[in-house]
Amino acid sequence: MTRGISKTIDSIKFGLISPDEIRKMSATKVITADTYGDDGFPIELGLMDPHMGVIEPGLRCKTCGKRVEECPGHFGHIDLAMPVVHVGFIKDIKKLLQGTCGSCGRLLLTNEEIKEYMELISKTKELGADAIDMSVLTKDIAKDAATRRICPHCGAEQLKITLDKPTTFREAGHKLTPKEIRERLERIPDGDLPALGINPKTARPEWMILTSLPVPPVTVRPSITLESGDRSEDDLTHKLVDILRINQRLRENRDAGSPQLIVEDLWELLQYHISTYFDNQTAGIPPARHRSGRPLKTLVQRLKGKEGRFRSNLSGKRVNFSARTVISPDPILSINQVGVPEAASRELTVPFRVTANTIDLAKEMVRRGPSPEGVKYIPGVNYVIRPDGRRIKVTERNRETVSENLTIGSTVERQLMDGDIVLFNRQPSLHRMSMMAHEVRVMPHKTFRFNLCVCPPYNADFDGDEMNLHVLQSEEARAEAKIIMRVQENILSPRFGGPVIGGIHDHISGAFMLTYKNPLFTEDESVRILSKVKLLDLPEPSEIIDGVEYWRGKELFSLILPNDLNMSFRSSICEKCDVCTREKCEYDAYVRIKEGKLLVGTIDENAIGAFKGKLLDKIARDYGSDAAREFLDQATQIALGAIMVRGFTTGIDDEDIPKEAQNKIEAMLEDAKKEVDDLVQAYHDGLLEPMPGRSLEETLEVRAMSVLGRARDEAGQIAGQFLGMDNAAVRMARSGARGSMLNLSQMAGSIGQQAVRGERLSRGYWGRTLPHFKEGDLGSEAKGFVKNSYKSGLEPTEFFFHSMGGREGLVDTAVRTSRSGYMQRRLINALEDLKVIKNGRVVNTAGTIIQFLYGEDGTDPSRSVQGDAVRVDDVLREVLGDEVTDEMIELSMAGYGTYDRDMESFDTDEFDIENDEEGGD
């Protein structure tokens, strides 16, 4: 095995291939349209001529003498009876014909103009123009030349040359044959070509007209033998057969002196076949079809598009050392780990070099063979690569001998074991956190397992999702992955400068149950909770009541906090009162941590949740990724301990509300319905005042929407009054574990107005939504208001309306995903070659500056605090201490507070009036 770079590509030059070169590189001339003879062997001078390479095992190539695996294949060629236009160069041929003189072949510009343009070209190049800029420039030059009516060199009048798509050129209506075009292109002198962006050394224009056609090697278009023994040829071979047949007929007819008309028809036919041989999707040409009616896949189709060579074989490849299976959760694993099934571990291998230091280990591993016995998994060896490069498969039978003969310098491919670094990925890979490095834990059973905190970055759940795993094969790759791709290094997202990895669902419910209102736990319970967290001893009991020892939840949680942590924030359950009482919060929603002790407040989504966890954010930022990983592992485990001790369940009866509440909601909805009816009445009576900039109808809709929207909220509020914090569903919604208060109010109170495109439902029948209503009914029920709750059940009409609203949601997501996918693709294509160099500059691969300083402030967004380089409050708190900082913040907030409240107290109408009065000033 050789490593390192032996040669580097300095530049790539594209050009045209000349007929001479085609013949020079050709291994054989192809004359007959036949492929195989009756004896089953390829015919000489046929399309499968063995000079062009071999595809059958056992045969030898007649050009290089090598066998199937070794012979790369060789080109042949077909001499065309008459020249034919190459479809791929139609545009360039047109540019050349229109820009040059029909009789003398010179560019239709004076020598001075040409010189001027050449100067412009070299100057543009000097200023760092790319290929696109250059092609625009040369196109402009050609356009200028095409406007000249008289040749400045020979004085000949220029006739108008038009392109009759796809391949016919006409001069003042008169048809130009490819032969005539070729003659004209031949006349263009080398000196005039650079001005048109053509390098005459690599691309003489007459080479755009084909006189001989290269035949690709058989290895490029292998024929396949079906089970029945029949041969099936490649699409390209089929097309070449067509070309050869017509070419032969054209030659015969021309030589026999057939009528001009027949020769021309055959010539056109040859042009058609050669055009479709290159591109079977040219506009204006009916695609050549297979006998079954399927369009043939010719050269361009092989390269173009998603399934083409570039996107599917060169930019993306199938790889070895990878695995894919279903995923499932495992809260015991650290966030850095991934559980790999034993079966997969036996297939996936890591190579290591046998040295004086590793030879004993290597021999021992090889001796185990590919499937070591034993209850506990130990890694074996699948292959040994000897120093001479020979690869030996280790089997049960040869493992002893291979082990004996193992020498220093060999490479051993050992099976996966605990602690190996692998990449783990879930599609769609929309951001860099979709592929992170994990440490392997080999486990029984058949799924990949990982910690639930890592679900958000992968956007994974366990309803059947599958994920991919890639085993790194070199020490450099492993080191790089461990330093920059490991899960713990990606806790803080570069997208918004906060954590993307964090507690979800039960982690949050558990932390909530552990800390909300600081509950007491007995010794037994406390030990159970702490036993989930490794290396934690039970502290001194917090309280002793009647001789029984109790521990406070907050004290248990404080055990996993860093000792010098100081911070305060508002929990997710915060009621957002007008005046915050902070530490004295009656809802226990103000978190204050001092010297690593949780004094007050509830730990919930705002503390440890993914995306929102402030506590997690602070620890990751101030104490580093190791501490963050440890905290996250412990916090989630302690939370799960708490939830398991106390138990947690939710069911449909969590949305039960008393009869009086139901009556209240019903009465309120009835009022809302009346209000809408009144609006409709006012509208019909012409008493409704139109809102500024809206028609009467729109005004009615807006007013009705707001009345009904308010009604839904009110129903939710009434229901909410009877659903307290002792209710599991409410606890989940408020702590941020799962669901929202809106979900609950739709279950217990009222589902509310259904909308399509943000408007009340209106389509279906003439003037009405369903035949249950009168035409022109604008009331709440007829336009899609669902007054029932999910629990009370929907009326038939309501169910229909709900389906209409639901359908829009589905269509939206379907449309959005495909559109955003394409947008992402375009964005990635535009940004993929950009990098930040050491002075903070953003450059592309050409060395052109894109941004003088990354993000204009040079800040790494994943090190930022929600996008800002520094958070002043935190600095103040560190320097001045909590009390002074709180005071300062309060002072600065005071102004905002009053202002906000003032704004809210304005009724919209009042506000308008006041504005009008002030308008005079």
Binding mask 4-23 for another protein (x = CB under 8 A): --------------------
Give whichever of 457 and 497 is closer to another protein, judged by the CB atom.
Answer: 497
Give whichever of 388 and 856 is closer to another protein, judged by the CB atom.
Answer: 856
Does 696 contact another protein by CB under 8 A?
no
**The binder of another protein chosen from 849, 875, 880, 889 (CB under 8 A):** 849
Cβ atoms of 802 and 770 within 8 Å: the answer is no
Give whichever of 495 and 528 is closer to another protein, judged by the CB atom.
Answer: 495
Does 129 contact another protein by CB under 8 A?
yes
Please spell the DSSP secondary structure of 641-678, one letter per residue: HHHHHH-----GGGG---HHHHHHHHHHHHHHHHHHHH
For the sheet with 543-545, list strands across it.
Answer: 520-522, 548-552, 543-545
**The binder of another protein chosen from 797, 859, 874, 876 (CB under 8 A):** 859
Give whichever of 135 and 898 is closer to another protein, judged by the CB atom.
Answer: 135
Smallest distance from another protein to CB 120, Å:
8
Q: How far apart are the first and last CA of the chain?
A: 85
**The binder of another protein chosen from 850, 865, 876, 888 (CB under 8 A):** 850
Does 847 contact another protein by CB under 8 A?
yes
Q: How many CA atoms lie within 13 A of 168 on its CB side?
A: 14
Give whichever of 281 and 848 is closer to another protein, judged by the CB atom.
Answer: 848
Does 484 contact another protein by CB under 8 A?
no
Does 663 contact another protein by CB under 8 A?
no
Q: Which of 528, 337, 508 is nearest to 421 (CA)?
A: 337
Does 177 contact another protein by CB under 8 A?
no
Grouping H, G, I as helix, E, B as strand and the rest as coil, residue 340 is: strand
Does 41 contact another protein by CB under 8 A?
no
Cβ atoms of 695 and 689 within 8 Å: the answer is no
Give whichever of 127 and 544 is closer to another protein, judged by the CB atom.
Answer: 127
Smallest distance from another protein to CB 682, Å:
43
Smallest distance from another protein to CB 275, Å:
34
Strands 322-329 and 448-450, sheet pairing: parallel
Please spell the DSSP secondary structure of 706-742, one letter per residue: HHHHHHHHHHHHHHHHT--TTSHHHHHHHHTSS--HH
Across-strand partners of 413?
Answer: 351, 383
Does 400 contact another protein by CB under 8 A?
no
Does 137 contact another protein by CB under 8 A?
yes
Q: How many CA atoms lie within 13 A of 484 on its CB side?
A: 6
Does 810 contact another protein by CB under 8 A?
no
Smallest distance from another protein to CB 867, Å:
8
Among the residue ranges 53-61, 123-131, 293-301, 537-545, the one whose residues contact another protein (CB under 8 A):
123-131
Does 856 contact another protein by CB under 8 A?
yes
Among the residue ranges 130-138, 217-225, 232-240, 305-313, the one whose residues contact another protein (CB under 8 A):
130-138
Does 830 contact another protein by CB under 8 A?
no
Among the residue ranges 128-136, 240-248, 373-381, 744-752, the one whose residues contact another protein (CB under 8 A):
128-136
Does 434 contact another protein by CB under 8 A?
no
Q: What share of the chain is helix, strand, coil (3-state, %, to 5)?
A: 45, 15, 40
Give whichever of 190 and 860 is closer to another protein, judged by the CB atom.
Answer: 860
Ramachandran category for residue 437: left, alpha or beta (phi over 0 → left; psi -120 to 50 → alpha): beta
Give whichever of 477 and 869 is closer to another protein, judged by the CB atom.
Answer: 869
Q: What would the 3-class secondary structure string for 870-911 be?
A: CCHHHHHHHHHCHHHHHHHHHHHHHHHHHHHHHHHHCCHHHH
**The binder of another protein chosen from 252, 678, 857, 887 (CB under 8 A):** 857
Q: How many CA atoms lie within 13 A of 96 on its CB side?
A: 29
Residue 827, token pair as written in the block: 């964005």
Could you give the CA distance from residue 390 to residue 372 in angstroms, rounded to a whole number? 24
Q: Which residues, 866 to 895, sit near another protein by CB under 8 A?
A: 867
Give whichever of 792 and 844 is closer to another protein, judged by the CB atom.
Answer: 844
Could you give the CA distance from residue 474 to residue 481 in angstroms, rounded to a whole number? 11
Cα 352 from chain centre: 34
Does 845 contact another protein by CB under 8 A?
no
* Total residues binding another protein (CB under 8 A): 22
Task: Tell me the chain's radius of gyration from C-alpha atoms.
Answer: 39
User: Which residues does 812 contact at the CB level (< 8 Å), separation at least 6?
Assistant: none
Give whichever of 848 and 898 is closer to another protein, judged by the CB atom.
Answer: 848
Cβ atoms of 590 and 600 within 8 Å: the answer is yes
Give whichever of 57 and 847 is closer to another protein, judged by the CB atom.
Answer: 847
Across-strand partners of 851?
Answer: 842
Q: Which helix (H) or strand (E) holds 524?
A: helix 523-531
How far is residue 389 from each of residues 384, 385, 386, 400, 410, measured CA to CA in Å? 10, 6, 5, 20, 8
Could you give the CA distance from residue 266 to residue 247 in angstroms, rounded to a whole number? 8
Smallest distance from another protein to CB 587, Å:
36
**The binder of another protein chosen from 9, 127, 172, 283 (CB under 8 A):** 127
Give whichever of 141 and 733 is closer to another protein, judged by the CB atom.
Answer: 141
Across-strand partners of 600?
Answer: 592
Residue 418, token pair as written in the block: 């605990």
Among the residue ranges 131-139, 395-403, 566-574, 696-704, the one whose residues contact another protein (CB under 8 A):
131-139
Does 122 contact another protein by CB under 8 A?
no
Q: Which of 646, 630, 638 is nearest to 538 (CA)?
A: 638
Could you give the CA distance from residue 152 to residue 160 in angstroms, rounded to a whole number? 16
Does 128 contact another protein by CB under 8 A?
yes
Does 359 contact another protein by CB under 8 A?
no
Does 833 contact another protein by CB under 8 A?
no
Among the residue ranges 49-57, 301-309, 348-356, 853-861, the one whose residues contact another protein (CB under 8 A):
853-861
Give whichever of 123 and 391 is closer to another protein, judged by the CB atom.
Answer: 123
Smallest distance from another protein to CB 500, Å:
21
Among the residue ranges 573-581, 718-726, 812-820, 843-851, the one whose residues contact another protein (CB under 8 A):
843-851
Does 135 contact another protein by CB under 8 A?
no
Give whichever of 497 and 749 is closer to another protein, judged by the CB atom.
Answer: 497
**The binder of another protein chosen from 10, 39, 69, 126 (CB under 8 A):** 126
Among the residue ranges 344-352, 375-383, 576-584, 842-850, the one whose residues contact another protein (CB under 8 A):
842-850
Give whichever of 123 and 819 is closer to another protein, judged by the CB atom.
Answer: 123
Could you give the CA distance from residue 565 to residue 448 in angstroms, rounded to a whole number? 36
Grouping H, G, I as helix, E, B as strand and the rest as coil, residue 451 is: coil
Residues that bind another protein (CB under 8 A): 120, 123-124, 126-129, 133, 136-137, 843, 847-850, 852-853, 855-857, 859, 867
